[in-house]
Amino acid sequence: MKTKVRIPQPKASELADEVDRLADAGLSEVGYGEPELERLAKVTWRINRLKKELGAVIPAHVYQRVEIVKGVADFVGDSYKLAKDCVSVEAEKIVFCGVRFMAETAKILNPGKEVLLPAKEAGCSLADSITAKDLRALKARHPGVPVVSYINTTAAVKAESDVIVTSANAKKILAWMYQRHHKVIFVPDGYMGLNLARELGKEVGRDMVVWGGTCMVHENFDAGAVSFYRRMYPGVEIMAHAECSPALVQAVDFVGGTGDMMRRVKESKAPAFMLVTECGLGDYARTVMPEKKFIPMCRLCPHMRANELGRILQCLEDPQPAQRVEVPAAVAAAAKRSIERMFEIAEDTAKA
Ligand code: SF4
């Protein structure tokens, strides 16, 4: 049933408190001045009131705009953390601030709940690089070889997979798979496949069949710039996302998913950090670790940026059919098995 709820504008005192809350949450740290904070506060205040009224939660990926992450999100994280958090969500309505494959994962794990994606067109170049039909054809060419799919895939591709991985657990889950199989199919990220094969001492072609999808953000970072930045900023610790090219991955100091990078920054004593990934992570890191120095070398993902406060408010007030995320029951059941396999193997490897 269509929900239409309207929340009035905040009173002057409520607006002033909301501006202070956003500033204290770290938005001042990333350069938002008073007029911008006031403009944002008018919307965040209404979104937060609406969430309570409707019993909704907002999970947000760390690549989302900082005013979403710090202003309205109930939980924040990388794909693995969000997938885990969605399992235990009690709210009946999930307004997912991320891209479509993430919102689909939330729906698969919470089939009885309403899942909304404010930016209904927010896709992902990796998820778009392979269809379920492509994967069925690949499996037919390699009969009996298990399929390990990166979480950046559609629900239909997940349904054709044996196990899902995220950048946080891909290496451990692949190592677990290689203890039981001599060969695996890895889709869809070609660079991540090459990076993982090298780390695990496996040969692409012989031990691993790799699909050639790329992330349109991470594929464009230039490995040649790393030595330039090292000369410019002596002692800088450079970290790259595992979706970057093998040349770049081998040139930096640390490689991992967004959660791994955040943990590494917290632990490291380096005088400065460069996070080679989507710009949202750097903004988020600056709000939670204002004492650390970050050198920008980031790119914006147009899909991640498509969510904005105005669209979240509209989605809560008057959701449109195209913003409702639906996954056919048979696809959801098969995809859920491959996601749960990830949780099981991740727990198994954590105990080992
Ligand atoms: S940053 Fe890359 S992998 Fe992430 S949503 Fe954007 S295109 Fe997809």
Of 78, 218, 305, the residue with max ligand 1 atoms within 8 A of its CB, to mutate for a pocket test, comes to: 218
Distance 18 CA to ligand 1 centre (A): 31
pLDDT of amino acid 297: 87
Distance 225 CA to ligand 1 centre (A): 21
CB 204 within 8 A of CB 145: no
Q: What angle do CA 240, 308, 42 make, to 5 degrees?
A: 125
Distance 217 CA to ligand 1 centre (A): 6
pLDDT of amino acid 139: 98
The answer to whether the CB of 304 is under 6 A from ligand 1 is: yes
Of 65, 261, 301, 305, the residue with max ligand 1 atoms within 8 A of its CB, to mutate for a pocket test, comes to: 301
CB 135 within 8 A of CB 312: no
Q: Which residues contact 326 (CB under 8 A, 6 or more apart)?
A: 107
* Side-chain half-sphere CA neighbours of 126 within 13 A: 26
The answer to whether the CB of 244 is under 6 A from ligand 1 is: no
The answer to whether the CB of 302 is under 6 A from ligand 1 is: no
Domains assigned to the chain: 12-122+305-319 (3.40.50.10800), 127-214 (3.40.50.10800), 218-300 (3.40.50.10800)
The answer to whether the CB of 298 is under 6 A from ligand 1 is: no
pLDDT of amino acid 347: 87
pLDDT averaged over every residue in the chain: 95
Distance 6 CA to ligand 1 centre (A): 33
Which residue ranges of the chain lie beneath pLDDT 70? 1-3, 352
Alpha-carbon separation of residue 313 from 107, 149, 194, 204 (angstroms): 20, 33, 41, 47
pLDDT of amino acid 22: 97
Q: Classify the phi-psi angles of 227: left when phi > 0, otherwise alpha if psi is within -120 to 50, otherwise beta.
A: alpha
pLDDT of amino acid 87: 83
pLDDT of amino acid 3: 53
Encode pLDDT of 68-127 as tens digits: 999 999 999 998 889 888 888 889 899 999 999 999 999 999 999 999 999 999 999 999
Q: Of all protein residues, whose CA lies closest to atom 5 belonging to ligand 1?
A: 124
pLDDT of amino acid 2: 54
CB 241 within 8 A of CB 257: yes
